[in-house]
């Protein structure tokens, strides 16, 4: 009999874990509270319209996510529009990085439109400074001050990249995490900094193909099934769900961090981990979808707004979606849903005066979109009991909350449990 694994949470971390458990010969069962899998990167229906819970961007450095998509039969080349990193702003600023690495970046800075020589030199200075890892307690704002960044470089490069990658303002963001993101992408191997813009809804990128793959491989995925408690028993773990309490050999906690401490509380030796996770703070992301006349086309598929809100506007028509549908994204959003919606629509009208009145508008606010990526965060250790694993985008200290972090954590959880399973089998002579 193969080792049974209960996976609490069917976001990208839980699904990655489940797929890898199958590949390693374990028998996973996923419990997902929501009616659909995908967690914070899912497709929802609003008044019958399929919409993503928020515009997502992947980058070329997401190697494990891309490999997992392929493994479950989702073709990244068809589902994602790959383009060199391009920053196009509403004030005419434009930068394209056709290749990564120091030389590629230097060329991109030289050719950028709307960058003064002082801005270009400042940008190169910051990239050079990143050869040394910033101190654990340094903020991005302090790093920018230390490397004498100009207003132009901050406005067009560092502030938008920081808010896009860390979903936290430069004043609050960790310089170490920002440096890691920049070096892995801009200074990474060829293609690492490429933008991969979804040409299909988020559900089709991974959650739905993974669900189909898992069921076809004999794994069980129970949506609409909230786990109320996990209790340790002599020979495993009882997973308390509305219609019973089935028992499993192993358990993976792949739920969002704010939901986890309550579930961990009953298990012996988990209090420190629960406390560490409970201390995380969160940032919101609001996406305003506005449908205009189908002939509407913006100058670029993705346009940055220097004045802030929205931070980016995406033109779905240029990304395989319905023509005329625009998505305005506000990261680290502070206002109410209604306020943010008004601000985004006003900014769109003022930037693109030819826009007609929207045919409809739908706004989705994710209050806890990501953890706040502040300096000094420490990695969250796995529990001492090797039959338990934690998976999720918040575990690694030097990385922000991303799809890639979620997928990697899910794969690591499966590997940990497979290791524990081998040890048990060896010691019991099975």
Ligand X SMILES: Cc1cc2nc3c(=O)[nH]c(=O)nc-3n(C[C@H](O)[C@H](O)[C@H](O)COP(=O)(O)OP(=O)(O)OC[C@H]3O[C@@H](n4cnc5c(N)ncnc54)[C@H](O)[C@@H]3O)c2cc1C
Query: C-beta of 227: minimal distance to ligand X in Å?
Result: 4
Q: Which window, 54-62, 289-297, 315-323, 337-345, contacts ligand X (CB under 6 A)?
A: 54-62
Q: Rank residues 119 and 184 by Cβ distance to ligand X and give the closer one.
A: 184
Q: Which window, 39-47, 73-81, 130-138, 301-309, contacts ligand X (CB under 6 A)?
A: 39-47
Burial classification of residue 351, based on how many CB atoms lie within 10 Å of its CB (0-12 exposed, 13-18 middle, 19 or more buried): middle
Percent helix / strand / coil, the chain, rounded to 5: 35, 25, 40
> How many other C-beta atoms are found inside a 10 Å radius of the C-beta of residue 68?
27
Query: C-beta of 216: minimal distance to ligand X in Å?
Result: 21
Query: C-beta of 15: minimal distance to ligand X in Å?
Result: 8
Number of chain positions touching ligand X (CB under 6 A) = 36
DSSP class of residue 208 equals H
Our finding on whether 10 is near ligand X (CB under 6 A) is: yes
Query: C-beta of 168: minimal distance to ligand X in Å?
Result: 13
Choice from 5, 6, 22, 33 touching ligand X (CB under 6 A): 33
Residue 85 CA: distances (Å) to CA of 100, 174, 193: 9, 23, 6
In the region spanning residues 398 to 417, those forming contacts with ligand X, defined by CB under 6 A, are 401-403, 406
Where does 41-116 have alpha helices with state H? 63-71, 76-79, 101-111
Phi, psi of 238 (to 5 degrees): -90, 125
Choice from 4, 7, 20, 32 touching ligand X (CB under 6 A): 32
- Which of 22, 424, 427 has its CA nearest to residue 221? 22
Complete DSSP assignment for 223-292: TT----EEEEETTEEEEEBTTB--EESEEEE-S-GGGHHHHHTTSTT-HHHHHHHHT--EEEEEEEEEE-
Paired with 52 in beta bridges are: 43
Query: C-beta of 11: minimal distance to ligand X in Å?
Result: 2
Q: Which window, 74-82, 101-109, 395-403, 413-421, contacts ligand X (CB under 6 A)?
A: 395-403
Choice from 4, 7, 9, 43 touching ligand X (CB under 6 A): 9
Give the DSSP H/E element, type plus range, for residue 156.
none
Choice from 220, 223, 232, 259 touching ligand X (CB under 6 A): 259
Our finding on whether 105 is near ligand X (CB under 6 A) is: no
Choice from 147, 150, 172, 256 touching ligand X (CB under 6 A): 256
Contact in structure between 305 and 336 (CB atoms under 8 Å): no
Length of the chain: 430
Our finding on whether 369 is near ligand X (CB under 6 A) is: yes
Binding site for ligand X (CB under 6 A): 8-14, 31-34, 39-41, 53-54, 56-57, 226-227, 254-256, 259, 263, 285, 287, 366, 369-370, 392-393, 401-403, 406
């Amino acid at each position: 009999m193969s080792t049974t694994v209960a996976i609490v949470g069917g976001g990208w971390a839980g699904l990655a874990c489940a797929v890898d458990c199958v590949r390693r010969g374990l028998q996973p069962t996923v419990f997902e509270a929501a009616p659909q899998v995908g967690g914070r990167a899912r497709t929802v229906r609003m008044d019958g319209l399929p919409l993503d819970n928020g515009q997502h961007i992947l980058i070329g450095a997401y190697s494990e996510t891309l490999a997992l998509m392929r493994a479950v039969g989702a073709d990244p080349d068809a589902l994602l529009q790959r383009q060199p990193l391009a920053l196009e702003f509403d004030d005419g600023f434009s930068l394209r990085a056709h290749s990564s690495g120091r030389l590629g970046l230097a060329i991109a800075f030289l050719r950028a439109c709307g960058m003064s020589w002082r801005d270009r030199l400042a940008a190169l200075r910051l990239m050079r400074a990143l050869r040394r890892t910033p101190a654990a307690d340094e903020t991005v704002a302090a790093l920018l001050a230390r490397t004498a960044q100009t207003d132009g470089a901050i406005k067009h490069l560092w502030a938008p990249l920081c808010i896009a990658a860390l979903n936290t303002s430069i004043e609050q963001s960790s310089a170490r995490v920002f440096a890691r993101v920049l070096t892995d992408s801009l200074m990474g191997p060829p293609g690492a900094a490429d933008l991969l813009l979804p040409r299909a809804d988020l559900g089709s990128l991974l959650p739905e193909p993974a669900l189909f793959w898992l069921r076809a491989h004999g794994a069980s995925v129970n949506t609409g099934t909230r786990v109320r408690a996990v209790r340790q028993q002599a020979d495993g773990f009882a997973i308390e769900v509305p219609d019973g309490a089935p028992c499993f050999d192993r358990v993976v906690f792949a739920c969002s961090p704010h939901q986890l401490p309550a579930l961990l509380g009953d298990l012996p030796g988990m209090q420190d981990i629960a406390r560490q996770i409970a201390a995380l703070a969160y940032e919101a992301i609001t996406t305003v979808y506005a449908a205009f006349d189908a002939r509407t086309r913006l100058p670029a598929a993705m346009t940055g707004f220097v004045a802030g809100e929205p931070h980016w506007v995406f033109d779905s028509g240029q990304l395989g979606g319905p023509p005329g549908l625009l998505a305005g994204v506000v990261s680290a959003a502070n206002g109410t849903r209604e306020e943010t919606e008004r601000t985004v629509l006003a900014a769109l009208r003022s930037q693109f005066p030819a826009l007609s009145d929207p045919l409809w508008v739908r706004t989705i606010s994710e209050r806890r979109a990501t953890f706040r990526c502040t300096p000094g965060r420490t990695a969250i250790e796995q529990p001492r009991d090797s039959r338990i694993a934690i998976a999720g985008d918040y575990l690694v200290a030097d990385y922000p909350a991303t799809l890639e972090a979620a997928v990697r954590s899910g794969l690591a959880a499966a590997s940990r449990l497979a290791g524990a399973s081998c040890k048990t089998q060896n010691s019991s002579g099975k």
